[in-house]
Amino acid sequence: MYVFLPLIILGVLLLITGILILLDYIFGGSAEKTIILNGDTELVVTGDDTVLSTLSQNQIFIPSACGGKATCGLCKFHMEGDVPPVKPTEEPFLTNSEIEEGIRLSCQVKVKDKMKILLPPGLLTAKEFHSEVTEIEELTYDIKRVRFELKSPNHVEFKPGQFMQIKVPGIDVIRAYSLASDPAHTDYVEMLIRLVPKGQATTYVHKALQVGDKAILIGPFGEFYLREASDRPIVCIAGGSGKAPIRSILFRLKALGMPRKVKYFFGAKSVKDLYYTEEFMELQKEFPNFEYIPALSAPDESDNWKGEVGLITDVLDRHSGDLSGAEAYLCGSPGMINACINVLNKHQIKTENVYYDKF
Ligand SMILES: Cc1cc2nc3c(=O)[nH]c(=O)nc-3n(C[C@H](O)[C@H](O)[C@H](O)COP(=O)(O)OP(=O)(O)OC[C@H]3O[C@@H](n4cnc5c(N)ncnc54)[C@H](O)[C@@H]3O)c2cc1C
Ligand code: FES
């Protein structure tokens, strides 16, 4: 009898494990769950992961620049019905009215059966692209242009100003980068990537990324894009790698024959931070409607700089008249954008005509 005791115990343990697995499959994290998307589409998912990961496993991509670490605030989504309380990690990114409306961070909310999710239709068109790095160009000591040729799918439609996410090869970190290329070229995209000291993704891109490397891109995303239906004069303001989406916007305006007046302010510290100066000076010669105003806040003596000197806010102020009929596109650091918006407001721009991406 005692000879069989270990076998009996093992059998009972196996039976209990089997029952637990079955119960988990039926009622627990592995159970199938139905998500109701935009009121009418039912999506059957499994697992106990976050809304962000679960949807991306099902080829629905909510933007994220931090890969789900609750540090970018980009992954907002709208829930209806049984909305969970806000977590402390979500609070810095949500206004009171967003919380009341049922907006949450999709990387902080786990999927639940019968969960009702509303996503803007534009998001449902974002895809995952397999690409290959075909060009890397050093634009300044800390900014590189990287071209990704799209392999599968082999083309992308994007609005100039939008961004894509990149799963940085080798380290699998996800980051967002604005598209800097001409939207008319749909077989590749270009990004202008500035080295952030100790930054994971940018250190990899600047020190290790090679032509021929494969990369996964996701997108396109974003509400920062050229409003083509408008005929308002345009003010563009950029700093650092914020030149990326503005470059794409200008490619498009050039293709349209520069139908609107455009003043483009680019703020940098000294000459070593300037890039694409020739490109935009040429554009200025070609189109009287376009004016490029690079401004240096602290030029070196050796720079021999003859252009505008001062903070970009002061230069913007000096060159702006009444902006009540204008439209503005700003891209750069949060500090620069906030300060420039104050100047635009002083010149009577309408809040609804100001578009920006802060990073
Ligand atoms: C919509 C959108 C578009 C973007 N487009 C571009 C683009 O076109 N070009 C571009 O270079 N970047 C762009 N970014 C920023 C980019 O997504 C990364 O945040 C940035 O490249 C840093 O990544 P990292 O992994 O190297 O640094 P991380 O490892 O994430 O950060 C390292 C440290 O640096 C700090 N840090 C992070 N970002 C910055 C920053 N920009 N400046 C100073 N300190 C920082 C972090 O707080 C952290 O302490 C964009 C971001 C968003 C949200
Ligand atoms: S993915 Fe960055 S906050 Fe959610």
pLDDT in tens, 92-117: 999 999 999 999 999 999 999 999 99
Pick the CATH number of 234-358 from 3.40.50.1820, 3.30.1360.100, 3.40.50.80, 1.10.10.10: 3.40.50.80
Alpha-carbon Rg for the chain in angstroms: 25
Least confident of 36-40, 185-189, 275-279, 334-338: 36-40
With a 6 Å cutoff on the Cβ, whether 198 touches ligand 1 is yes
Q: Which residue has the higher pLDDT, 28 or 174?
A: 174
Phi, psi of 61 (to 5 degrees): -110, 115
Q: How many angstroms separate the alpha carbon of residue 138 from the centre of ligand 2?
A: 30
- Per-residue confidence (pLDDT) for residue 23, from 0 to 100: 65
With a 6 Å cutoff on the Cβ, whether 218 touches ligand 1 is no
- Per-residue confidence (pLDDT) for residue 144, from 0 to 100: 98
Measured distance CA(340)–CA(344) in Å, rounded: 6
Q: What percent of the chain has pLDDT over 70?
A: 97
- Per-residue confidence (pLDDT) for residue 13, from 0 to 100: 83
Residue 229 pLDDT > 70, yes or no? Answer: yes
| Mean pLDDT for the stretch of residues 307-332 | 97
Measured distance CA(170)–CA(294) in Å, rounded: 36
59, 127 contact by CB (below 8 A): yes
| Mean pLDDT for the stretch of residues 340-355 | 98
| Mean pLDDT for the stretch of residues 344-351 | 98
CATH 3.10.20.30 fits 33-123, yes or no: yes
Confidence of residue 121 (pLDDT cuts 50, 70, 90): confident
Q: What percent of the chain has pLDDT over 90?
A: 81
Question: Which residue, chain included where needed, has tokens 């703020």?
Answer: 267
- Per-residue confidence (pLDDT) for residue 17, from 0 to 100: 78
Q: Is 210 exposed, middle or buried (0-12, 13-18, 19+ CB in 10 A)?
A: exposed
- Per-residue confidence (pLDDT) for residue 34, from 0 to 100: 93
Amino acid letter at 13?
Answer: L
pLDDT in tens, 46-78: 888 999 999 998 999 999 888 889 998 999 999
Distance (Å) of CA 142 to CA 110, 128, 156, 171: 39, 28, 28, 20
70, 172 contact by CB (below 8 A): no
Written as six digits, the tokens of 29 are 């994290």
Measured distance CA(285)–CA(44) in Å, rounded: 57
Q: Which residue has the higher pLDDT, 57 or 270?
A: 270
Residue 276 carries which DSSP code?
S
Long-range contacts of 278-286 (CB under 8 A, 24+ apart): 280/250, 283/250, 283/254, 286/254
Please state the atom number of ligand 2 nearest to the C-alpha of residue 62: 1
Q: Choose the residue to mutate in 72, 91, 359 for probing ligand 2, maximizing ligand atoms within 8 Å of C-beta.
A: 72
Least confident of 79-83, 270-274, 276-280, 329-333: 79-83
- Per-residue confidence (pLDDT) for residue 27, from 0 to 100: 58
Residue 16 pLDDT > 90, yes or no? Answer: no
**Domain extents in the chain:** 33-123, 126-221, 234-358
With a 6 Å cutoff on the Cβ, whether 105 touches ligand 2 is yes
CATH number of the domain located at residue range(s) 126-221 in this protein = 2.40.30.10
Q: How many angstroms separate the alpha carbon of residue 196 from the centre of ligand 1?
A: 7
Residue 163 pLDDT > 70, yes or no? Answer: yes
Mean pLDDT computed over every residue of the chain:
93
341, 331 contact by CB (below 8 A): no
